[in-house]
Protein backbone atom coordinates (compact mmCIF):
# COMPACT_ATOMS: atom_id res chain seq x y z
CA UNK A 1 0.00 0.00 0.00
CA UNK A 2 1.26 3.50 -0.84
CA UNK A 3 2.62 5.12 2.36
CA UNK A 4 0.30 8.13 2.00
CA UNK A 5 -2.71 5.83 1.65
CA UNK A 6 -1.51 3.92 4.67
CA UNK A 7 -1.40 7.14 6.70
CA UNK A 8 -4.93 8.02 5.55
CA UNK A 9 -6.17 4.59 6.65
CA UNK A 10 -4.57 5.09 10.06
CA UNK A 11 -6.27 8.49 10.35
CA UNK A 12 -9.66 7.06 9.34
CA UNK A 13 -9.40 4.22 11.87
CA UNK A 14 -8.53 6.66 14.67
CA UNK A 15 -11.53 8.80 13.78
CA UNK A 16 -13.68 5.67 13.67
CA UNK A 17 -12.85 4.67 17.22
CA UNK A 18 -13.97 8.11 18.41
CA UNK A 19 -17.16 7.85 16.32
CA UNK A 20 -17.89 4.31 17.57
CA UNK A 21 -17.46 5.37 21.19
CA UNK A 22 -19.82 8.32 20.72
CA UNK A 23 -22.41 6.12 18.97
CA UNK A 24 -22.87 4.22 22.25
CA UNK A 25 -24.43 7.29 23.88
CA UNK A 26 -25.98 9.58 21.32
CA UNK A 27 -28.09 11.38 23.93
CA UNK A 28 -24.94 12.78 25.53
CA UNK A 29 -23.91 14.67 22.39
CA UNK A 30 -24.13 18.42 22.00
CA UNK A 31 -25.50 19.15 18.57
CA UNK A 32 -25.42 22.49 16.80
CA UNK A 33 -27.36 23.58 13.77
CA UNK A 34 -24.92 25.19 11.27
CA UNK A 35 -27.87 26.21 9.09
CA UNK A 36 -31.32 24.79 8.40
CA UNK A 37 -31.02 20.96 8.58
CA UNK A 38 -27.21 21.10 8.76
CA UNK A 39 -26.08 19.61 12.02
CA UNK A 40 -22.65 19.27 13.54
CA UNK A 41 -21.61 17.66 16.80
CA UNK A 42 -18.43 17.46 18.83
CA UNK A 43 -17.94 14.08 17.13
CA UNK A 44 -17.55 15.67 13.68
CA UNK A 45 -15.08 18.19 15.10
CA UNK A 46 -13.18 15.66 17.23
CA UNK A 47 -12.92 13.16 14.37
CA UNK A 48 -11.68 15.88 12.03
CA UNK A 49 -9.03 17.06 14.52
CA UNK A 50 -7.78 13.47 14.96
CA UNK A 51 -7.55 12.96 11.20
CA UNK A 52 -5.69 16.22 10.59
CA UNK A 53 -3.28 15.54 13.44
CA UNK A 54 -2.46 12.08 12.08
CA UNK A 55 -1.94 13.34 8.53
CA UNK A 56 0.14 16.39 9.49
CA UNK A 57 2.22 14.31 11.89
CA UNK A 58 3.39 12.26 8.90
CA UNK A 59 3.32 15.07 6.30
CA UNK A 60 3.65 18.43 8.09
CA UNK A 61 4.08 20.38 4.84
CA UNK A 62 0.83 19.14 3.23
CA UNK A 63 -2.28 21.34 2.86
CA UNK A 64 -5.75 20.54 4.21
CA UNK A 65 -9.31 21.14 3.03
CA UNK A 66 -11.67 19.87 5.71
CA UNK A 67 -15.43 20.30 6.16
CA UNK A 68 -15.48 21.66 9.70
CA UNK A 69 -12.23 23.65 9.85
CA UNK A 70 -11.72 24.76 6.24
CA UNK A 71 -8.41 25.32 4.46
CA UNK A 72 -4.96 25.16 5.99
CA UNK A 73 -1.52 25.48 4.35
CA UNK A 74 -0.22 25.76 0.79
CA UNK A 75 1.23 22.74 -0.95
CA UNK A 76 1.02 20.65 -4.12
CA UNK A 77 -0.46 17.99 -1.85
CA UNK A 78 -3.93 18.63 -0.43
CA UNK A 79 -5.92 16.30 1.83
CA UNK A 80 -9.69 16.58 1.37
CA UNK A 81 -11.53 15.44 4.48
CA UNK A 82 -15.10 14.71 5.53
CA UNK A 83 -14.69 13.40 9.08
CA UNK A 84 -18.26 12.11 9.26
CA UNK A 85 -20.32 11.88 6.09
CA UNK A 86 -23.92 11.16 7.02
CA UNK A 87 -24.10 13.18 10.26
CA UNK A 88 -27.90 13.17 10.28
CA UNK A 89 -27.90 9.35 10.10
CA UNK A 90 -25.26 9.15 12.83
CA UNK A 91 -27.23 11.41 15.18
CA UNK A 92 -30.30 9.20 14.75
CA UNK A 93 -28.42 5.93 15.22
CA UNK A 94 -29.17 5.04 11.58
CA UNK A 95 -26.09 3.00 10.65
CA UNK A 96 -25.09 4.54 7.32
CA UNK A 97 -22.21 6.98 7.67
CA UNK A 98 -18.50 7.06 6.91
CA UNK A 99 -15.18 8.85 7.11
CA UNK A 100 -13.92 10.11 3.76
CA UNK A 101 -10.31 11.15 3.09
CA UNK A 102 -8.75 11.90 -0.30
CA UNK A 103 -5.35 13.20 -1.35
CA UNK A 104 -4.94 15.40 -4.42
CA UNK A 105 -1.56 16.19 -5.97
CA UNK A 106 -1.55 19.33 -8.12
CA UNK A 107 -5.32 19.05 -8.26
CA UNK A 108 -5.38 15.40 -9.36
CA UNK A 109 -6.87 12.81 -7.01
CA UNK A 110 -4.23 10.24 -6.07
CA UNK A 111 -5.38 8.39 -2.94
CA UNK A 112 -8.79 7.65 -1.43
CA UNK A 113 -10.14 6.11 1.75
CA UNK A 114 -13.77 5.71 2.76
CA UNK A 115 -14.28 3.82 5.99
CA UNK A 116 -17.65 2.57 7.24
CA UNK A 117 -17.18 2.05 10.97
CA UNK A 118 -20.54 0.31 11.47
CA UNK A 119 -19.64 -2.57 9.12
CA UNK A 120 -15.86 -2.38 9.40
CA UNK A 121 -15.68 -1.90 5.64
CA UNK A 122 -12.58 -0.12 4.36
CA UNK A 123 -12.72 1.14 0.77
CA UNK A 124 -9.39 2.28 -0.69
CA UNK A 125 -8.00 3.34 -4.05
CA UNK A 126 -4.71 4.64 -5.44
CA UNK A 127 -4.62 6.18 -8.91
CA UNK A 128 -3.79 3.51 -11.49
CA UNK A 129 -3.82 0.71 -8.92
CA UNK A 130 -7.51 -0.24 -8.70
CA UNK A 131 -10.08 -0.05 -5.92
CA UNK A 132 -10.39 -2.34 -2.91
CA UNK A 133 -12.90 -3.28 -0.23
CA UNK A 134 -10.80 -4.53 2.68
CA UNK A 135 -8.36 -6.83 0.85
CA UNK A 136 -10.56 -7.61 -2.11
CA UNK A 137 -10.41 -5.87 -5.50
CA UNK A 138 -13.77 -4.29 -6.43
CA UNK A 139 -15.32 -3.46 -9.78
CA UNK A 140 -18.44 -1.58 -10.79
CA UNK A 141 -21.43 -3.72 -11.75
CA UNK A 142 -21.86 -5.14 -15.25
CA UNK A 143 -25.57 -4.37 -15.52
CA UNK A 144 -26.31 -2.73 -18.86
CA UNK A 145 -30.04 -1.93 -18.78
CA UNK A 146 -31.30 1.07 -16.86
CA UNK A 147 -34.58 -0.78 -16.30
CA UNK A 148 -32.64 -3.33 -14.19
CA UNK A 149 -30.43 -0.82 -12.42
CA UNK A 150 -30.46 0.21 -8.75
CA UNK A 151 -29.65 3.92 -8.50
CA UNK A 152 -28.48 5.90 -5.47
CA UNK A 153 -29.25 9.56 -4.93
CA UNK A 154 -29.45 12.31 -2.34
CA UNK A 155 -32.50 14.52 -1.87
CA UNK A 156 -32.11 18.26 -1.51
CA UNK A 157 -32.56 18.98 2.22
CA UNK A 158 -30.94 22.33 3.06
CA UNK A 159 -30.85 24.24 -0.22
CA UNK A 160 -34.17 23.89 -2.01
CA UNK A 161 -33.35 26.08 -5.01
CA UNK A 162 -33.21 23.06 -7.37
CA UNK A 163 -36.07 21.12 -5.82
CA UNK A 164 -38.38 21.35 -8.85
CA UNK A 165 -35.69 20.16 -11.27
CA UNK A 166 -34.73 17.43 -8.80
CA UNK A 167 -38.31 16.18 -8.42
CA UNK A 168 -38.69 16.01 -12.22
CA UNK A 169 -35.50 13.95 -12.44
CA UNK A 170 -36.69 11.72 -9.61
CA UNK A 171 -40.11 11.19 -11.17
CA UNK A 172 -38.44 9.91 -14.36
CA UNK A 173 -35.81 7.88 -12.56
CA UNK A 174 -38.25 5.88 -10.41
CA UNK A 175 -40.18 4.93 -13.55
CA UNK A 176 -37.17 3.96 -15.65
CA UNK A 177 -35.07 1.98 -13.16
CA UNK A 178 -35.42 -1.02 -10.92
CA UNK A 179 -35.27 1.24 -7.85
CA UNK A 180 -33.89 4.43 -6.34
CA UNK A 181 -32.25 4.57 -2.87
CA UNK A 182 -31.39 7.53 -0.62
CA UNK A 183 -29.09 6.01 2.01
CA UNK A 184 -27.85 9.40 3.36
CA UNK A 185 -24.07 9.33 2.91
CA UNK A 186 -22.83 10.44 -0.50
CA UNK A 187 -19.34 9.08 0.22
CA UNK A 188 -20.74 5.61 0.91
CA UNK A 189 -23.09 5.85 -2.08
CA UNK A 190 -20.02 6.28 -4.31
CA UNK A 191 -18.08 3.54 -2.49
CA UNK A 192 -21.04 1.18 -2.94
CA UNK A 193 -21.23 2.13 -6.62
CA UNK A 194 -17.54 1.20 -6.91
CA UNK A 195 -18.32 -2.13 -5.23
CA UNK A 196 -21.21 -2.89 -7.62
CA UNK A 197 -23.93 -2.60 -4.96
CA UNK A 198 -25.41 0.35 -6.85
CA UNK A 199 -25.30 0.70 -10.64
CA UNK A 200 -25.50 4.49 -10.73
CA UNK A 201 -25.80 7.64 -8.61
CA UNK A 202 -26.72 11.29 -8.98
CA UNK A 203 -27.03 14.27 -6.64
CA UNK A 204 -27.17 18.06 -6.89
CA UNK A 205 -24.79 20.45 -5.11
CA UNK A 206 -22.50 18.22 -3.07
CA UNK A 207 -19.25 19.53 -1.57
CA UNK A 208 -15.74 18.52 -2.54
CA UNK A 209 -15.22 16.59 0.71
CA UNK A 210 -18.39 14.53 0.08
CA UNK A 211 -17.18 13.23 -3.29
CA UNK A 212 -13.38 13.46 -3.69
CA UNK A 213 -12.51 10.01 -2.32
CA UNK A 214 -15.63 8.42 -3.83
CA UNK A 215 -14.84 9.70 -7.33
CA UNK A 216 -11.40 8.08 -7.37
CA UNK A 217 -12.90 4.84 -6.03
CA UNK A 218 -15.51 4.75 -8.79
CA UNK A 219 -12.95 5.50 -11.51
CA UNK A 220 -10.48 2.93 -10.21
CA UNK A 221 -13.30 0.37 -10.10
CA UNK A 222 -13.93 0.95 -13.83
CA UNK A 223 -16.83 3.40 -13.50
CA UNK A 224 -17.39 6.93 -14.75
CA UNK A 225 -18.16 10.18 -12.96
CA UNK A 226 -19.18 13.46 -14.51
CA UNK A 227 -21.43 16.47 -14.16
CA UNK A 228 -25.00 16.39 -15.51
CA UNK A 229 -23.72 16.72 -19.07
CA UNK A 230 -20.94 14.19 -18.58
CA UNK A 231 -18.20 16.82 -18.24
CA UNK A 232 -15.67 17.62 -15.53
CA UNK A 233 -17.25 20.48 -13.55
CA UNK A 234 -18.64 18.10 -10.89
CA UNK A 235 -15.71 18.48 -8.54
CA UNK A 236 -16.44 22.24 -8.25
CA UNK A 237 -20.24 22.33 -8.63
CA UNK A 238 -20.96 19.07 -6.80
CA UNK A 239 -23.56 18.26 -9.46
CA UNK A 240 -22.56 14.68 -9.99
CA UNK A 241 -23.52 11.55 -11.88
CA UNK A 242 -21.68 8.25 -11.46
CA UNK A 243 -22.22 4.83 -12.90
CA UNK A 244 -20.83 1.85 -14.65
CA UNK A 245 -20.09 3.05 -18.21
CA UNK A 246 -23.39 1.81 -19.68
CA UNK A 247 -25.63 3.09 -16.91
CA UNK A 248 -23.76 6.41 -16.67
CA UNK A 249 -24.74 7.28 -20.24
CA UNK A 250 -28.38 6.32 -19.64
CA UNK A 251 -28.63 8.42 -16.47
CA UNK A 252 -27.40 11.46 -18.44
CA UNK A 253 -30.22 10.87 -20.93
CA UNK A 254 -32.82 10.78 -18.15
CA UNK A 255 -31.50 14.01 -16.60
CA UNK A 256 -31.07 15.94 -19.87
CA UNK A 257 -34.65 17.24 -20.29
CA UNK A 258 -34.64 18.60 -16.72
CA UNK A 259 -31.42 20.64 -16.76
CA UNK A 260 -31.90 24.31 -15.95
CA UNK A 261 -29.09 26.69 -17.01
CA UNK A 262 -27.56 26.44 -13.53
CA UNK A 263 -27.42 22.64 -13.71
CA UNK A 264 -25.56 22.53 -17.03
CA UNK A 265 -21.75 22.18 -17.20
CA UNK A 266 -20.00 25.20 -15.67
C1 LIG B 1 -24.19 14.86 3.55
C2 LIG B 1 -24.37 13.45 3.04
C3 LIG B 1 -25.69 13.31 2.31
C4 LIG B 1 -25.83 14.29 1.19
C5 LIG B 1 -25.57 15.69 1.70
C6 LIG B 1 -24.22 15.79 2.39
P7 LIG B 1 -22.80 15.41 5.80
O8 LIG B 1 -22.94 15.03 4.21
O9 LIG B 1 -23.34 13.10 2.16
O10 LIG B 1 -25.85 12.03 1.73
O11 LIG B 1 -27.11 14.18 0.64
O12 LIG B 1 -25.67 16.60 0.64
O13 LIG B 1 -23.98 17.09 2.82
O14 LIG B 1 -23.33 16.80 5.96
O15 LIG B 1 -23.53 14.40 6.56
O16 LIG B 1 -21.31 15.35 5.97
CA1 LIG C 1 -20.58 15.16 3.81
CA1 LIG D 1 -19.63 15.72 7.34
Q: Pocket of ligand 1, candidates 15, 85, 97, 239: which has the most ligand atoms within 8 Å of its Cβ, to mutate? A: 85
> How far apart (Å, rounded) are the C-alpha atoms in residues 143 and 198?
10
**The dihedral formed by the CA atoms of 28, 184, 108 and 19, expressed in degrees to the nearest 10:** 20
130-164 pLDDT, tens digit each? 999 999 999 999 999 999 999 999 998 878 889 99
| Cα–chain center distance at 106 | 20
What is the whole-number distance in angstroms between the Cα of residue 34 and the centre of ligand 2? 13
> How far apart (Å, rounded) are the C-alpha atoms in residues 205 and 20?
29
Q: Are strands 200-203 and 150-153 parallel, antiparallel or unpaired?
A: parallel
179-223 pLDDT, tens digit each? 999 999 999 999 999 999 999 999 999 999 999 999 999 999 999
- Domain boundaries along the sequence of the chain: 3-137, 146-265
pTM: 0.97
Name the CATH topology of 3-137.
Fructose-1,6-Bisphosphatase; Chain A, domain 1 (3.30.540)
Identify the residues whose C-beta falls under 6 Å from ligand 1: 82, 85-88, 154, 184-186, 203, 206, 210
Domain 146-265 has CATH 3.40.1280.10: no
How high does pLDDT run on average in the chain? 96
Amino acid sequence: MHPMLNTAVKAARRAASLINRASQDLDALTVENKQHNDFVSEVDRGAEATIIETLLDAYPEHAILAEESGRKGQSDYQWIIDPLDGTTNFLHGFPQYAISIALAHQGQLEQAVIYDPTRNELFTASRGKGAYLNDRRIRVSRRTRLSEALIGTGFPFRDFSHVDAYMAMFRDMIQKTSGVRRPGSAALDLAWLAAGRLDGFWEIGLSKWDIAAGCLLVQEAGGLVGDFEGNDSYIDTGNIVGGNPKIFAQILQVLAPHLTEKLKSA
